[in-house]
Amino acid sequence: MAPLGDIIRRDRLAHPQAFTPAYKTSVLRSPRRALVSVEPGPGENTGPIFKANILAPLDNDLIRNYAKDGEAVGERIIVHGKVLDETGRPVRNTLLEVWQANAGGRYRHHNDSYLAALDPNFGGAGRCMTDDDGNYFFRTIRPGPYPWRNNGSDWRPAHIHFSLFGDAFVQRLVSQLYFEGDPLIHLCPILGTLPDDAARQRLVAKLDMGNSVPFDALAYRFDIVLRGRRQTFFETQPEGL
Amino acid sequence: MPIEYLKETPSQTGGPYVHIGLLPAAAGLATRTQEQQHILTGAGERIRLTGIVMDGSGHPVRDALLEIWQADAEGRHNAGGFLGWGRGAADPVTGEWMFETIRPGQVPWRDGRPQAPHVSLLIFARGINIHLHTRLYLPDDAAALEADPVLRSIEQVGRRATLVAERTDAADVPTYRLVIQLQGEDETVFFDM
């Protein structure tokens, strides 16, 4: 079997730095020494392969997957898009996991004590896999903004957390999706950890009226890019041999 | 101008409620409660990996979520039906985490040299803006550790030990423990790979 091409190095300047004091929790949780740079090996150029049979039928429908006696309350939305790698290739059959607060900004988590009410019909967890063209979609309600203790009471813009694998362990990505036009985006210390507005814009989903479902749900489009893989035109002679 | 590639989507912290999406039962959700993602099943010797993540003030990171990725007993990835991947949460009170898995074999490095048996480890938590990537090495074979090409790429020789677990066989299976220090004198080595 031909060796897999290396995953292309990560452009760390396009990501947040570890130490970002305006986001206070990062102060004690940020390594202070430089990361040690090493080329990826066989265990970095590969990653776990999840089978579609781990998914339950409602895993990608957060409006119904925790329903007890009705559907989740809130603005019904469909989020969809394409997962590509940096070279533009679709990332096929990869697991996408999402989690979020309910329409009132409350998480179903034992550590969340925000006064907004829980929705008995909303859990806030979903997952799906990309298809053969890298496309994904899930249905949910738009999460509410909520306050958190940072510089006094800061407010998080509405956001959906997401997690992706790709097909190499070093393509792993966990991030957050925001919504076009949310005025809290520019006030958020966590979005403020990003290096510039271009990076922030890459996390903003765009309203997609064409794919909205009449009298049912608005659609938002959100494309995701994972690290690319180098082609193996010529193999470097192994070092030391 | 050089060729432009698409830009990787930037990372954001997994946040304090990361469990909802990645380990829903640990968040308190009555969903996917049958999942045991911290247990990896496959052919080979059963071992247990334990540890704790400490912040810069010496307190455990009790909301940490960890993932491991490893070879099978023969040193192969994605072979023989072994998933090779696991996910676990720190205990919300003590911060201790634990995986049950099989002893990984030796995986050849890029140039064919053997790597010492190890698992790759990712850490996600509130306050961690982009997940941290490290390794947990098994301590049993000192010569293999000495020759490991990735450990040898760590210039400060004394820092290599931050990746080597301690054998603490208190249970009925070989058990290893790694204390991960996010900051300080003994800051764990984190990789950019």
User: Is A107 one of the catalytic residues?
Assistant: yes
Please spell the DSSP secondary structure of A124-178, one letter per residue: -EEEEE--TTSEEEEEEEPPPPEEEEESEEEEEPSEEEEEE-TTSGGG-EEEEEE
User: Is A220 one of the catalytic residues?
Assistant: no
Asked if residue B23 is part of any domain, the answer here is no
Asked if residue B168 is part of any domain, the answer here is yes
How does DSSP classify residue B147?
H
* Run of H or E including A35: none
| Contact status, residue B187 vs residue A33, Cβ threshold 8 Å | yes
- Residues B165, B181: Cα–Cα separation, whole Å: 13
* Structural domains of chain A, ranges and CATH numbers in brackets: 20-26+44-225 (2.60.130.10)
Does the pLDDT value for residue A2 go beyond 60? no
Q: Which one of the listed residues A92, A161, A172, A230 is annotated catalytic?
A: A161
Asked if residue B171 is part of any domain, the answer here is yes
Strand runs labelled E in chain B = 46-54, 65-69, 85-89, 96-102, 118-124, 132-137, 166-167, 175-181, 191-192
Tokens of B33: 């409660």
* Run of H or E including A90: none
Asked if residue B25 is part of any domain, the answer here is no
Which B residues in the span 42-101 are in contact with A, Cβ-Cβ below 8 Å? 55-57, 59, 61, 63, 67, 69-71, 77-78, 83-85, 92
Burial class (CB in 10 A: 0-12, 13-18, 19+), B115: buried
- Residues A108, A123: Cα–Cα separation, whole Å: 6
pLDDT tens across the length of chain B (193 residues): 899 999 999 999 999 999 999 999 999 998 888 899 999 999 999 999 999 999 999 999 999 999 999 999 999 999 999 999 999 999 999 999 999 999 999 999 999 999 999 999 999 999 999 999 999 999 999 999 999 999 999 999 999 999 999 999 877 899 999 999 999 999 999 999 9
pLDDT of residue A1: 47
pLDDT of residue A236: 67
- Chain B residue whose CA is closest to A37: B192
- Determine whether the interchain pair A124/B20 forms a contact, defined as Cβ–Cβ distance below 8 Å: yes
Q: Could you give the residue ranges of the DSSP H alpha helices within chain A? A: 197-201
Helices (H) and strands (E) in chain B, counts: 4, 9
Does the pLDDT value for residue A237 go beyond 80? no
Asked if residue B66 is part of any domain, the answer here is yes
- Residues B157, B3: Cα–Cα separation, whole Å: 39
Mean pLDDT of A196-212: 98
What is the predicted ipTM? 0.97
Q: For A90-102, write each residue's pLDDT tens digit.
A: 999 999 999 999 9
| Contact status, residue B183 vs residue A31, Cβ threshold 8 Å | yes
Asked if residue B163 is part of any domain, the answer here is yes
Burial class (CB in 10 A: 0-12, 13-18, 19+), B181: middle
- Determine whether the interchain pair A32/B28 forms a contact, defined as Cβ–Cβ distance below 8 Å: no
Q: Which residues of A touch B127 (CB under 8 A)?
A: 23, 25-30
Coil, strand or helix: which one is B47? strand
Q: For B110-163, write each residue's pLDDT tens digit.
A: 999 999 999 999 999 999 999 999 999 999 999 999 999 999 999 999 999 999
What's the domain range around B39? 34-181
Give, in order, the Cα–Cα distances in Å from B142 to each of B44, B129, B145, B147: 21, 35, 5, 9
Asked if residue B128 is part of any domain, the answer here is yes
Q: Which of A28, A32, A43 sits opposite B107 (nearest CB)?
A: A43
Using alpha carbons only, give the angle B176, B179, B184 rounded to the nearest 5 degrees: 160
What is the pTM (predicted TM-score) of this model? 0.97
Q: Which of B9, B78, B128 sits opposite A173 (nearest CB)?
A: B9
- Residues B169, B60: Cα–Cα separation, whole Å: 22
pLDDT of residue A241: 44
Q: Please state the domain count of chain B.
A: 1
Alpha carbons within 13 angstroms on the beta-carbon side of residue A118 total 16
Q: Which one of the listed residues A23, A66, A107, A136 is annotated catalytic?
A: A107
Q: What is the CATH number of the domain that holds B52?
A: 2.60.130.10
- Determine whether the interchain pair B192/A38 forms a contact, defined as Cβ–Cβ distance below 8 Å: yes
Helices (H) and strands (E) in chain A, counts: 1, 12
Q: Which residues of A touch B193 (CB under 8 A)?
A: 37-41, 44, 170
Does the pLDDT value for residue A180 go beyond 80? yes
| Contact status, residue A126 vs residue A96, Cβ threshold 8 Å | no
- Asked if B122 is an interface residue toward chain A (Cβ–Cβ < 8 A), one would say yes
Query: Best mutation site among A174, A201, A203 for testing chain B: the one with the most B CBs within 10 Å?
Result: A174
- Chain A residue whose CA is closest to B62: A111
User: Is A66 one of the catalytic residues?
Assistant: no
Q: Which residues of B touch A65 (CB under 8 A)?
A: 31
- Determine whether the interchain pair B9/A161 forms a contact, defined as Cβ–Cβ distance below 8 Å: no
- Determine whether the interchain pair B190/A175 forms a contact, defined as Cβ–Cβ distance below 8 Å: no
User: Is A186 one of the catalytic residues?
Assistant: no
Query: Best mutation site among B3, B4, B6, B55 for testing chain A: the one with the most A CBs within 10 Å?
Result: B6
Torsion of CA A91, A95, A96, A100, to 10 degrees: -170
Q: For A128-152, write each residue's pLDDT tens digit.
A: 999 999 999 999 999 999 999 999 9
Does the pLDDT value for residue A239 go beyond 70? no
User: Is A114 one of the catalytic residues?
Assistant: no
Asked if residue B29 is part of any domain, the answer here is no
